[in-house]
Amino acid sequence: MQRRGDFRVVVTKDHLVFSSAHFITFAGHRCEGLHGHNYRARVTLEGQLDEEVWFVFDFVTIKQIMKRLCDEIDHKVLLALDNPKLQVTEEGDTVRVAYEGTPRYAFPRSDCALLPVPNTTVEMLAELLATRLRNELEKMGARGLTAVEMEIEENFGQSAVYRVALP
């Protein structure tokens, strides 16, 4: 049969969530206070059908990887390491955060997720998790995938989507 359409698989599950604290910086000299969200991830994988099994990708595997990626940042304070307005430093078991040079927070190291992003917006979290998922897929030698899309929702009906085409 000549197939003319494209396939993609989508996973969004009740356990693909992370409840985390964060704050973002805005333009100028404004910085949010610390607060939390029940974030939810939604993953889409685009690709060719594997014509041995007639699916694009195994749902069980996507769910396992995504659960692990969500667990890594669940119940943590999400801190942006690449934000020029924030100074995040580790002193033993303590992470200290300053905003434009003024000390603001100190957290136990084990309660923090130090993330290589410029701001913990849902856009940057979507890109980060898509990149981490992509790395996992590459590591396991996944074939036939043409794009990874990650949607991160921070409130009902309020989300950002990042999509990256795979070479």
Angle separating helix axes 122-139 and 59-73, nearest 10 degrees: 130
Clarify whether 31 is annotated catalytic: yes
Distance, CA of 105 to CA of 34 (rounded, Å): 9
Instruction: Point out the catalytic residue in the list 46, 151, 153, 154.
Output: 154
**Number of H-type helices and E-type strands within the chain:** 2, 10
Hunting for tokens 């996944």 — which residue is that?
Answer: 142
Among this protein's residues, is 75 annotated catalytic? yes
Question: Which one is catalytic: 32, 75, 90, 100?
Answer: 75
Active site residue 112: no
The catalytic site residues sit at 31, 75, 154
